[in-house]
Amino acid sequence: MENSSGTRIKIISAVYGAGTDSTVMNVTLFVQQLVNEGVFDITASNKTFGKDPAPHKQKMFGVLYHSPELNKGHPIALGCFENKSVHLLGKDVWSSEQNTLPSTTDLTVQGATYSGSSHGQNVTAMVQAFINLGNLAIPVNNSVFGPDPLPHETKVFSIIYKNNATGTVLAATAQENSTIILPL
């Protein structure tokens, strides 16, 4: 959808929280609404998203989006920690290109990012490959998701995926140099 700046941005996936299950919120529609209203600086906070999904835990925000006018039309992955911001229209915002990969299991990755505040990796196909091989424990580091999009910034991993057997859409986040185990 085109907004007041004339830039068309489609939010593919966006999550805010800490860890998995009930401590992470799928904020895709809310972030799309902000963008439609002309808001391009998104601060990851309980105030912004209207709820604290994980009291007393450090939260993370990850967004995967597409704009024909940015990054040669390829999806862009950005992320940050709680009380930090991402700017969706940054002049040097970029993200790696990545093809899609079909699911061969009951889980379909709708969007996955490994990113910092201005540069990131779209790791959707890579994570789908892990899951297709039966791996629900995903190591979150530069060796797996490299090259390092921001060498001097701790990266955030975020994912939205669907359990095709139950129809449930799930979201999870993790910090760089950790391992996340995706719940079914």
pLDDT in tens, the chain (184 residues): 444 556 789 999 899 999 876 788 999 999 999 999 999 999 999 999 999 999 999 899 989 898 888 878 888 888 888 999 998 987 667 666 666 677 888 999 998 989 888 888 889 988 998 899 889 999 999 989 888 888 889 999 999 999 999 999 999 999 999 999 998 8
Give which of 23, 56, 3 is closest to 180, Cα–Cα.
Answer: 23
Residue in the block written with tokens 């669907």: 162
**Residues 123 and 60 occupy one common structural domain:** no
**Residues 88 and 112 occupy one common structural domain:** no
Q: Tell me whether residue 32 is in a domain.
A: yes
Record the tokens describing residue 160, joined without a space.
Answer: 């939205």
pLDDT of residue 96: 62
pTM value? 0.78
**Residues 88 and 20 occupy one common structural domain:** yes
Q: How open is the CA angle 37-39-40, to the nearest 5 degrees?
A: 135
**Residues 86 and 112 occupy one common structural domain:** no
CB under 8 A, 24+ apart: contacts of 34-40? 35/1, 35/3, 35/9, 35/11, 35/65, 35/88, 36/1, 36/3, 37/3, 37/4, 38/3, 38/4, 38/5, 40/5, 40/87, 40/88, 40/89
Number of domains in the chain: 2
Q: Tell me whether residue 5 is in a domain.
A: no
pLDDT of residue 99: 64
CB distance 86 to 113 below 8 Å: no
**Residues 165 and 135 occupy one common structural domain:** yes
**Residues 55 and 88 occupy one common structural domain:** yes
Q: Tell me whether residue 101 is in a domain.
A: no
| Structural domain harbouring 63 | 10-95
